[in-house]
Structure 1
Amino acid sequence: MNRPHVLVLPIPAQGHVIPILEFSQCLAKHGFRVTFVNTDYDHKRIVESLEGKNDLGEQIRLVSIPDGMEPWEDRNDFGKLFEKVLQVMPGKLEELIEDINSREDEKLDCFIADGYMAWSMEVAKKMNVRGALFWPSSAASVALLFHIPKLIDDGIIDSNGTPMSKQMFRIAPNMPEMNSGDCFWTNIGDLNTQKIIFDLLDRNMRAMIALNFQLCHSTYELEPEAFTVVPELLPIGPLLASNRLGNSAGYFWRKDSKLFEVARPTATKTQNCRLCCFWQPCNS
């Protein structure tokens, strides 16, 4: 009997690739075959960082599709990057799924995408592949996304995501207050970039409405109220790659073992830093 085959798609950012690849390794340990899709640019960086070692095992295959950017273009220009992603990647993803499903023993059973790539669920539906989302950030950040329509209706932000004024609000009674100026999409770049990202979030939200499965890289014990606000979320975290320091798969840069030796004595002092990643994933 063939192992179930899963296609996995992260957003092209280091802080997203690592947790969803960690989840992919968990799936592989439970008998799944995983085809992991990076952009061509990130795929090259990850393969180079592996230095010829097969840290991922035989059940995870790395493939790539274009992101629409030229090799020399600045991928830290998030507005331009995600404009290109939305123009190019849906068609390339469809071609990849079609190619995989053309081989009888490779046909996909499921498609898992980063929550910030929820638009890809439209492609999965078109190709008749069941889909689920994986949120690499906190349940609170997902709850904030679901709260966007109310923020607009209450006059806290405008239709481009810009705060109407700096004010405090709560997503739910037992959740901490937030400042409207701290919404993560307002801290990504200039107003044009913000609008592009906010439009992407809006498109993602519309794609999420019909989904039955959404996984979250957090735990109920840390965020009970946030999981109550978004009952569709299934907590499966935290998935900590630090539990396997010998395996650096998924990193865009080669591991410097000397750095680990220097940092090890002070590791306990930075233990709580893990919690930082629950609010907003790194985009470096």
Structure 2
Amino acid sequence: MEEKKIHRAHVLIVPYPSQGHINPTFQFAKRLASKGLKITLAITNFIYKTKKPPQPSDSVQIDTISDGYDDGGFSEAESIDAYLQNMEVAGLKTLAELITKYKSSSNPIDCVVYDAFLYWALDVAKDMPSFIGVQGQYPAYFEMVLNQFSNADRADLVLVNTFYKLESQVS
């Protein structure tokens, strides 16, 4: 009798390209992987080449996208606005290419979890479930994200890093 191969859900996670976002996102990725999901963490080319990115493992693999500054990262940009604009243009293109690459693999991407600051990722992930990961640990930060990014209400789910004792006063 031939054994059927079970498809593991494949989650693509796209953190904002700074250590303060990548490290907690990698911990979240490992947690999801421990539940049996296949995880791909998409970091920028610059972070991958020059920083100490998380080491891929059997449970979490690393792939890359561009922020438009592949050789110098944020330090090449003349301003934060220029960096974010270039990252949106380059990120949209390379994130779409990454999803397409996996589409023809034996384990295509099933959903995308992206950092709230990368609101444009939703435009690429529009045909699959998409989740916003909010790094802040309190409701006011979440409200800022919803106010700042007009498409946050289009995501399938918003993930907020928090716990009950921190917000026991919030109903």
Whether TM-score is above 0.5 comes out as yes
Q: In the TM superposition, what is the alpha-carbon distance from 1:57 to its structure 2 partner?
A: 2.4
Does the Cα contact within 8 Å between 2:131 and 2:155 map onto a contact in 1?
yes
Q: What TM-score do you get using the length of structure 2 for normalisation? A: 0.85
Residue aligning to 1:209:
153
Contact in 1 for aligned 2:16/2:115 (Cα 8 Å): yes
Structure number with the bigger relative contact order (C-alpha 8 A, sep ≥ 6) is: 1
- Tell me which amino acid in the other structure corresponds to 1:136: Q
- Which residue, out of 5, 28, 43, partners 2:48? 43
Q: Distance in 2 between matches of 1:18 and 1:109?
A: 23
The equivalent residue for 1:61 is: 61
Asked if 1:223 is matched to 2:171, the reply is: no
- The answer to whether structure 1 residue 25 and structure 2 residue 37 are counterparts is no
Number of paired residues?
A: 163
Greater helix content: 1
The answer for the alignment partner of 1:101 in structure 2 is 103
1:132 counterpart letter in structure 2: F
- Output the aligned Cα RMSD: 2.1
1:58–1:116 CA distance, 2 compared to 1 (3 A) = same
Cα separation, partners in 2 of 1:72 and 1:17, compared to 1, 3 Å = closer
SS in 2 for 1:67: coil
Question: Counting strand residues as a fraction of each chain, which structure ranks higher?
Answer: 2
Distance in 1, Cα, partners of 2:155 & 2:72: 37
Amino acid at match of 1:206: S
**Residue type of the alignment partner of 1:90:** L
User: Which residue of structure 2 aligns with residue 233 of structure 1?
Assistant: none
Partner of 1:131: 130
Contact 2:116–2:145 at 8 Å: present in 1 too?
A: no
- Cross-structure match for 1:117: 118
Change beyond 3 A, Cα 1:119–1:129: same
Give the CA deviation at 1:81. 1.2
Q: Deviations over 1:149-199 (max 9, x none)?
A: xxxxxxxxxxxxxxxxxxxxxxxxxxxxxxxxxxxxxxxxxxxxxxxxxxx
- Quote the offset at 1:222 in angstroms: 0.8
Structure 2 residues without counterparts, runs of 5 or longer: 1-5
C-alpha distance in 2 between matches for 1:116 and 1:216: 13
- The aligned amino acid for 1:119 is W
Does residue 1:80 correspond to 2:24, yes or no? no
Q: Which of residues 1, 13, 17 is equivalent to 1:12?
A: 17
